[in-house]
Every structure is written in C-alpha cells, then in structure tokens.
Amino acid sequence: MTMKTIWEHRSHDGVQGMYSHASGSAGRDMAFGVFVPDHAPGATLPVLWYLSGLTCTAANVVEKGEYRAACARHGIILVAPDTSPRGEGVADDADYDLGVGAGFYVDATQQPWAANYRMRSYVEEELPAIVRSQFPADFARQSITGHSMGGHGALTIALRNPQRFRSVSAFAPLCAPMQCSWGEKAFSNYLGTNRQAWRPYDAVALIEDGARLSELLVDQGTADQFLTEQLKPQLLHQACTQAGIDATIRMQEGYDHSYFFISTFMSDHVEWHAARLKQHTAHE
C-alpha cells in the first residue's frame, strides 16, 4: 500500500496533511485529511474520526472545521475521510444527494453503485489500516464524530462497533435515514427496495434492534433548514430513552446547518471525546 502526500502544512503545534491512496474498496484513489499534533518521539496518540456530510470532500472540515487548536491541546489525531468515491468512470447522479459526495457510509449492493460505493468497508476497515500503518495512532483509543450524513455515519458505525470507539458525537446528524427523503432515496438506490437491508445503516433502527452505547452527544441548530424534514433528532431521543442510552441532544438556538455552526461547537466535541479517550479502561 502506497500513501501519497498531497500537501502538508504546520498548524497549531502540529501538522495538517492531505493524503491519498489507491483504495480497493472504492476502486479509485481516495483522499483523506489527517492532523497530527506534536508529540514525543515514539509516542502514539488517540484518534478522532470525523465523517463529513453531503457534497463534501475531505477538504471542507480541514478548511472550515476549526478543530486543530483543540486537537493539539488534547493531543488527538483527527482523520477526515472523503464522502464517496470520485473520478472518471465512477457512477454519479445529477442530484447532490446521490452519487459522488453522497456515499452514505454504506456498502452498495445495487448497480451501478456496487462497483465503487463501498464506503462502509472503506471507513470501517481499509482507511483504519492505512492510518494505523502510516501515523502515530493508538487504536486502543478511538472516537468518532461527523456532520449530517457524516453524523449518521458516526452514529451507525459506533452502534455497530461499540467495542471499538470510546465515544461518539454528531453535529446535526441524520438520525433516522429510513424515515427521511435523503435516506430513502440513497438506500433504495444503493441497497435496493428490501428495507430490512437498510436497518444496519439507521441509528434508530439499530437501537430498536438491540444495538447499545452507554452515551452519545449531539448538537443541533434550531435554524437548520434540514431539521424537520431530514434530521429528526426527536426520533433519536425517543429511541435512546427507551433503550436506556444517555443521549445528550443540545438544541442550539439560531444555528443553521453550516460549518459556522460546526466550528462553533467543534472544540466542545473534541473536549468531550478527550475526556473519554484519556480514561483508563480495565484492560490497560
């Protein structure tokens, strides 16, 4: 496996880089961002995964997420994957909510998507192996967060892999994609019409089916234009209450769906994860 450095810049007492590699899951080169705070020679640092939303590349959060000062303060590596395969020959759609920029963190089973749209395998398996081999990452200490479609990705990946992540949070996540038009459109195209096959990709359905976390943190703007039709935090709240999951869902007055909202609460999230990443567990 060869990783290429696209660029690196010193920033906030660390190095922000953009890298790429030939991905087996996506069948194309995939770019991803990594911020590594300064650290002692030989030391390894905990990892926070950040999954992005519709229309994003790995660059949006790197440019507008404002996470570096908090990550440097807490000694946390942040990894930002792309949201879909892209490039010549990759299936696409004219709409922004399907195809390139809209991978939904699923492994597609339907044509024409199945060949390249394997973002579940990419984010859960392939990219972690690369990060582990190329960066000073302590994989015993991982947390995950994301925005919108990426918040859906973070919640569902954490619910499916509770032993792997110390903590999960999200900014304006799609809480129940099976119950909104973005999710229904994506899942019927990528996964087919059998809704049972959608359930491993829906946070509320996963909780209804028995997946458990001890806690989660969500920030949601009240002026978010997608709140009512797509995001539906009340469904996550209900599911968590019934399942005994300690869900902190903070409605933030006047904030919209943009990176102006995300960057406002980013340091809160990094700090929340840092507190959990620093705790010692029984097997340490």
Ligand X SMILES: N[C@@H](CCC(=O)N[C@@H](CS)C(=O)NCC(=O)O)C(=O)O
Q: Which of 23, 143, 148, 169 is an active site residue?
A: 148
Q: Give backbone dihedrals phi and psi of 193, rounded to 5 degrees, phi first.
A: -90, -10
Query: Residue by residue, what is the 3-state secondary structure of the chain?
Result: CCEEEEEEEEECCEEEEEEEEECCCCCCEEEEEEEEECCCCCCCEEEEEEECCCCCCCHHHHHHCCCHHHHHHHCCEEEEECCCCCCCCCCCCCCCCCECCECCCCECCCCCCCCCCEHHHHHHHHHHHHHHHHCCEEEEEEEEEEECHHHHHHHHHHHHCCCCCCEEEEECCCCCHHHCHHHHHHHHHHHCCCHHHHHHHCHHHHHHCCCCCCEEEEEEECCCCCHHHHHCHHHHHHHHHHHCCEEEEEEECCCCCCHHHHHHHHHHHHHHHHHHHHCCCCCC
The answer to whether 264 contacts ligand X (rule: CB under 6 A) is no
In the complex, residue closest to ligand X by CB:
53
Nearer to ligand X, 142 or 148 (CB): 148
**How many residues sit close enough to ligand X to count as binding (CB under 6 A)?**
12
The answer to whether 263 contacts ligand X (rule: CB under 6 A) is no
Q: Which of 21, 147, 152, 257 is an active site residue?
A: 257
The answer to whether 33 contacts ligand X (rule: CB under 6 A) is no
224 in catalytic set: yes
The span from the CA of 162 to the CA of 168, in Å, is 9
The answer to whether 96 contacts ligand X (rule: CB under 6 A) is yes
Residue with tokens 């994609």: 177
| Shortest separation between residue 183's beta carbon and ligand X, angstroms | 12
* Selected binder of ligand X within 79, 90, 98, 149 (CB under 6 A): 149
| Shortest separation between residue 226's beta carbon and ligand X, angstroms | 7
Nearer to ligand X, 30 or 149 (CB): 149
The answer to whether 44 contacts ligand X (rule: CB under 6 A) is no
The answer to whether 145 contacts ligand X (rule: CB under 6 A) is no
The answer to whether 260 contacts ligand X (rule: CB under 6 A) is no
The answer to whether 131 contacts ligand X (rule: CB under 6 A) is no
| Shortest separation between residue 102's beta carbon and ligand X, angstroms | 9
The span from the CA of 79 to the CA of 66, in Å, is 13
Q: Are 118 and 164 in contact (CB under 8 A)?
A: no
The span from the CA of 219 to the CA of 240, in Å, is 15
Nearer to ligand X, 56 or 213 (CB): 56
The answer to whether 55 contacts ligand X (rule: CB under 6 A) is yes
The answer to whether 25 contacts ligand X (rule: CB under 6 A) is no
Restricted to residues 164-223, the positions that interact with ligand X (CB under 6 A) are: none
257 in catalytic set: yes
The answer to whether 119 contacts ligand X (rule: CB under 6 A) is no
Nearer to ligand X, 57 or 189 (CB): 57
Max distance between CA atoms of the chain, in angstroms, equals: 52
Kindly indicate which of the ranges 141-149, 153-161, 183-191, 241-249 contains the residues binding ligand X, using the contact rule CB under 6 A.
141-149
* Selected binder of ligand X within 47, 56, 71, 131 (CB under 6 A): 56
Q: Under the rule (CB under 6 A), what is the footprint of ligand X?
A: 53-56, 60, 96, 147-149, 257-259
Annotated active-site positions, please? Answer: 148, 224, 257
